[in-house]
Amino acid sequence: MTYTGILQILIVLLAMIAAAIPLSKYLAHVFQCEPTFLDGIISPLESLTLKFLKVNRNQETDWVQYLKTGIIINFLMLTIVYFILRFQNFLPFNQMHYPGIPWALDFNTAISFITNTNWQNYGGEEVLSNFSQMALVFLQFTSAATGLVFAIAFIRGFIRHEAKYVGNFYVDFVKAVYRLFLPLAIIFAVIMLWQGAPQTFVMQKKVTNITGVKQTLSVGPVASMVSIENLGTNGGGFYDANAAQPYENPNPFTNALTIFMMGTIPIALFLMYGVMIGNKKHAWTLFAVAMTLLIVCLAVVYSQEAHGNPLLAKLGANIHISKNSPGGNMEGKQEHIGIAQTSLFATATTAFTTGNVDSAHDSFMPLSGMVLLSEMMLNLIFGGKGVGLLNMLTMVIIGVFIAGLMVGRTPEFLGKKIEAKEVKLSTLAIFAHAFIILIPFAIAIAIPAGLAGILNPGPHGLSEILYAYTSTVANNGSAFAGLNGNTLFYNISLGLTIFFGRYIPIICQVAIAGSLIKKKRIPESAGTFPAHGALFYVVIMATILLVGALTFFPALALGPIAEHFAMVKGHLFY
């Protein structure tokens, strides 16, 4: 670890927080139907779209209809994109005459992109036409907007009292796309284009390099995909190598910019929540919980990668390469980006459930891999668009319930009594996430079809499979990159875990909103548990760590932890 590396990390983190504060206020205005500076430009477009859809912006629905509308719209878009990918050979912008992709891979890909997961069992530039790539860009807008508006419905469950309606899905959805994702995507696409990312409908370009050798380069609408894949915490890249490909991530500045894009909106949503409920102290306490977890995870990853493999250090192999790479574990990393930014990128992409990668996670140290897995297992360290906030608030309900049991009274939270229904739904949401990871993982390591996909033997191979199911259920989409996921078994099993991992927790969480919104507001009393401050911070942090450890520690012990201790003892697997 170096002072320069730490400074790089601090600059990016502080920039995200600084940008998130005004953005949170703007988002609160948007979803509370208050005036914003974009009204003159966006309002006519919104009105035209809602008129075309024949939607009355003033007509709201209950939680069942809100949820039903969102899921139906998701399935319609999934079906459209499935057929686009399946029959891309009949569609335009396919100068390379790529055939339609196989049905199992198509099933996995379409579900992956509609759920904000973007798990990719294919090499984008080698398989998809530019038309298909643009279809996936479309889903990167809509999947991010879907997660965000479900979080908005959840928040309304707290701020409305003795009510029935949680909002209008269509109105919220259009606002999310037009007032947040589309404007920012345009701005950052232009920046990426300026920095060297291609943006063209041509699929290949023949060039002569500086040595006189002729090359054929894969190009396309890269800049536009890069912007929304990170702003929407999607992670699905144009190229197989994601941000490790220089056209997606040309230099250290774009590397830092990519981290900034993936982290700013999730942080802003935590703060927006405080503005909307009228309790900023509460939101800042939850921010402190999430930021503490992020910093601890980052410290472990950076220290592990900076120190490198002790077995190689004994052989003198952890050599100093440059000022960006003063020794440490450089396997799978880019020298011009260095260990510090790579560690931040890996920690951020799994904390914010983006899934974009600028390095090979399969080459990280065992404890670094454990941290990346843990972030996705918790799935609340800011998380993706709306989902991280939903998961944090679900954990808060569990924490408040436990605190209520300790003092012997019905727990209250933000003026609402937390009763059996909310606790059961919260428990179901949390443990559904765990079961959908661990049960398919257990099946995969027990049958030949699952074991056939691993690259490495021993505990690292087990970690590759565990990472795949954790990443898909957490709607992350990154991979250890050592697992061959493009098989019938993995395309189907991972596709199913993506589907159930996305929608079962969301159904539970929107149902909680539907229950809370009907309740009366209870004034605070001497027995009310404060929803902010040091005590609240400790209770929520302890709840997260306890639930996470009891649920996932055995699996982690068999994989990355076992690999770490084996490495310390000098045992290698090959």
Q: What is the pLDDT of residues 369-403, one digit of tens each?
A: 999 999 999 999 998 888 999 999 999 999 988 88
- The answer to whether position 179 is within a domain reads yes
| Average of per-residue pLDDT across 226-249 | 91
267 and 382 in contact (C-beta within 8 Å)? yes
Cα 538 to Cα 546: distance, rounded to the nearest angstrom: 12
Phi/psi of residue 412, nearest 5 degrees:
-125, 145
The predicted structure's pLDDT at residue 206: 85
- The answer to whether position 281 is within a domain reads no
- The answer to whether position 21 is within a domain reads yes
| Average of per-residue pLDDT across 482-496 | 91
Instruction: State the residue for tokens 């509460």.
Output: 282
| Average of per-residue pLDDT across 234-244 | 88
Strand partners, 215: 207
Q: Tally Cβ neighbours within 10 Å of residue 126.
A: 11
Poorest-confidence range of 242-251, 305-314, 416-425?
305-314
- The answer to whether position 502 is within a domain reads no
- The answer to whether position 84 is within a domain reads yes
Strand partners, 218: 204
Q: What is the pTM of this model?
A: 0.93
The predicted structure's pLDDT at residue 325: 47
Q: Tally Cβ neighbours within 10 Å of residue 33.
A: 11
| Average of per-residue pLDDT across 148-168 | 92
Cα 123 to Cα 315: distance, rounded to the nearest angstrom: 36
Instruction: State the residue for tokens 């990154």.
Output: 478
Indicate if the alpha-carbon torsion angle 143, 145, 146, 147 is positive or negative: positive
In 3D space, the residue among 303, 284, 287, 401 whose CA is nearest the CA of residue 343 turns out to be 303
Cα 281 to Cα 287: distance, rounded to the nearest angstrom: 10
pLDDT confidence bin for 572, thresholds 50/70/90: confident
Domain count across the chain: 1
> How far from 445 is each of 117, 463, 559, CA to CA, in Å?
23, 10, 12
Per residue in 320-348, pLDDT tens?
544 554 568 888 888 888 899 999 999 99
- The answer to whether position 429 is within a domain reads no
pLDDT confidence bin for 516, thresholds 50/70/90: very high
- The answer to whether position 7 is within a domain reads no
Query: Residue 170 is part of which domain span?
Result: 14-275
- The answer to whether position 449 is within a domain reads no
